[in-house]
Structure 1
């Protein structure tokens, strides 16, 4: 191990004996009391020395025997320590690609802030390169979202859409002006390739899920059709539910941005659950949806540039959180933001008992199990669930399945 105090967190002394790491309340941490010699020793934790050399430096500074190991262990437990050579073989391979790593250093620094174990940030960044994501929709939201995922280090990002690029599809960071008239999917894939830090790994021919090729780690549905954003058709997601493929919805409808739900098949509410719940609350819902879908489609939809870019960025952040093994707040919920107020709020998407996705049945089973469990057992169950979710990022793409 080559310890390094996380450089992403700014350091400042609150007084002569207390040091604060980080500025923001979400991630700041104070440590103390800390003597002057130990404070000076922190400067040596910069990733250039292993523990044996650090112990020698500690003796030269007259630090007590074992003090260096205690300090390193304490910083590691606090989540303030990284390992300059940690992260496993994938991380080592990424370090050898300096030009690629330089593009991703801001993403690596961000990961170091939100991870706790030394080497985790580099491990997760390297794991992204093995993942495959498909974005369905190449409008103002979908194309930008796909480019963001590619630029953040996701190994393969595919884009699916039909038709030709129209002037109102263009967006900074998405489809450029010189693509008007080209096939949408091809133009968006070219944008994705340009955003990538390096070329994606070569895959065995045969298409997603074909022989020799893994399935999608995540599918993002970002339709240009505003009706499909507001009322996603359950049939569209049936292949993902049957294959156990996680999928996330995102888009803009009538100056309202929507991100979510993130659907974990068999665990969280899906588009079918959303549709049935709406019908329960409003008997006219099916009639209204039928009219919206069958009515004359507007050529240009109300999807202003700033809101579309905001939705793409938030959806990409939720997608990356999931791909890195965490459970974002869009799992089982839909985040909405409307102009001109721009206040985000979440609407839960509850599993519906009549939906064939099975999430409601699983939820009721877990509830019955927890009703008879001790607090300790419940905590262990939640901890085990979180460990399995965190392990997702290290698995080959397409191996995620709802656990039982």
Structure 2
């Protein structure tokens, strides 16, 4: 089989579950990975390069046995079925180990009490089955997908900004199973705030935060469970804040003063927005470890002496114009920001930590930019990457000569 990273760990997990027939496991070949026969003796599970695995050689009896791995049978019954099909002693267990080593095996009943509680809510699970299938496909260990999905329901996230980007981000996070999604914004909904998946047309004139909370509730697959660790005020600790201001300038060049409380509290936060014809996602700030808004401001000023003066002019006064925010671009930014937020909440490597993605219309070519911790910023992140920020290895900023 291809791609055997962490294979011994997965095999060890399976061995623990199968030893002496317990605890009861109901093996299932990961349903999201489509199966097909490459030839008479080789099975491929999965379509795409990132997830496909090849199993071989596979004889006819073993191929028939694979169809029994549908999550409806426990290990003892599978062993009996294997014997009736004429498979050698121990063949079933060896096959399951091979599948586990390749990350192709899931457990239809595993995941612990939180997963069991989620499965018991049929109406919630029916909404989240595509998300569970996706998590199962990208996580190697059996039951890891359902564990992550159940963990989302114990998570609290705040989205600040309810325009065409922020309201969609909040709805997507809620619909993907995040248990508590808060929204913050001021003023009332304007016609140009409306977006599919975000604020609906009937919300025009309502308070933005109230309208966004309604959208979040509508998107949620059922109410989240009340947890023992909830504090008396019903709030859980914040896992992430998504900053999606309606003024895209505040996402492109975030205000260090506004970020200070988040840095002081150690709260991870992610920037996302649209300015002019450019969409911006990131950085994801891990306070004290990666570049923050202050680092970005200092770094930009180092590269362009006129930047602070220009920024002060752009921020001054009250804008009367409706800000440019292409609907398709805003939806793209919101979707990708939500995907990165979910990956972070699920425990994946935070690829936007210290980085940002920009995409500009009409070419829509994505550009990744590394954002480095600045030695002069009081956030302290530069201590984690001491010596990394130098004048010779800093990526240049885009400039325009005229």
Q: TM-score range by the shorter chain?
A: 0.7 to 0.9
Q: Is the 8 A contact 1:209 1:216 kept in 2?
A: no
Match of 1:23 in 2: 47
Alignment of 1:315-330 (within 5 A): 315-330=337-352
State the number of aligned residues: 364
TM norm structure 1: 0.87
Residue 158 in 1 paired to residue 182 in 2?
yes
Deviation of 1:210 after TM superposition, in Å, equals: 8.0
Match of 1:341 in 2: 363
Alignment of 1:316-395 (within 5 A): 316-364=338-386
Match of 2:334 in 1: 312
The SS at the match of 1:7 is coil
2:245 to 199, 209, 223: 223
Residue 174 in 1 paired to residue 198 in 2?
yes
Instruction: Give distance in 2, aligned partners of 1:222 and 1:351.
Output: 22
Instruction: Give distance in 2, aligned partners of 1:45 and 1:21.
Output: 13
Residue 118 in 1 paired to residue 120 in 2?
no
The SS at the match of 1:363 is coil
Residue 252 in 1 paired to residue 274 in 2?
yes
Match of 1:185 in 2: 209
Instruction: Give distance in 2, aligned partners of 1:27 and 1:267.
Output: 31
2:77 to 49, 53, 62: 53
Moved more, 308-317 or 320-329: 320-329
Residue 290 in 1 paired to residue 330 in 2?
no
Deviation of 1:102 after TM superposition, in Å, equals: 0.2
Instruction: Give distance in 2, aligned partners of 1:151 and 1:176.
Output: 16
Structure 1: 5+ residue runs without aligned partners? 368-404
Could you report, residue by residue, the CA deviation over 1:36-76 in whole angstroms, capped at 9, with x for unpaired residues?
Answer: 11111101111111111111111111111111111101101
Match of 1:397 in 2: none
Could you report, residue by residue, the CA deviation over 1:54-101 in whole angstroms, capped at 9, with x for unpaired residues?
Answer: 111111111111111111011011100000001111000001000100
Deviation of 1:363 after TM superposition, in Å, equals: 1.9
Could you report, residue by residue, the CA deviation over 1:334-353 in whole angstroms, capped at 9, with x for unpaired residues?
Answer: 10001000111111111111
Match of 2:111 in 1: 87
Deviation of 1:365 after TM superposition, in Å, equals: 8.9
Residue 274 in 1 paired to residue 296 in 2?
yes
Name the one with the larger helix percent: 1
Deviation of 1:131 after TM superposition, in Å, equals: 0.1
The SS at the match of 2:309 is helix
Alignment of 1:24-43 (within 5 A): 24-43=48-67
TM norm structure 2: 0.88
Moved more, 76-85 or 351-360: 351-360
Q: Is the 8 A contact 2:154 2:227 kept in 1?
A: no
Q: Is the 8 A contact 2:132 2:145 kept in 1?
A: yes
Deviation of 1:329 after TM superposition, in Å, equals: 2.1
Instruction: Give distance in 2, aligned partners of 1:90 and 1:183.
Output: 36
Match of 2:27 in 1: 3
Deviation of 1:328 after TM superposition, in Å, equals: 3.3
Could you report, residue by residue, the CA deviation over 1:131-189 in whole angstroms, capped at 9, with x for unpaired residues?
Answer: 00000000000001100000000000000000000000000111011111110000000
Q: Is the 8 A contact 1:156 1:201 kept in 2?
A: no
Instruction: Give distance in 2, aligned partners of 1:241 and 1:247.
Output: 9
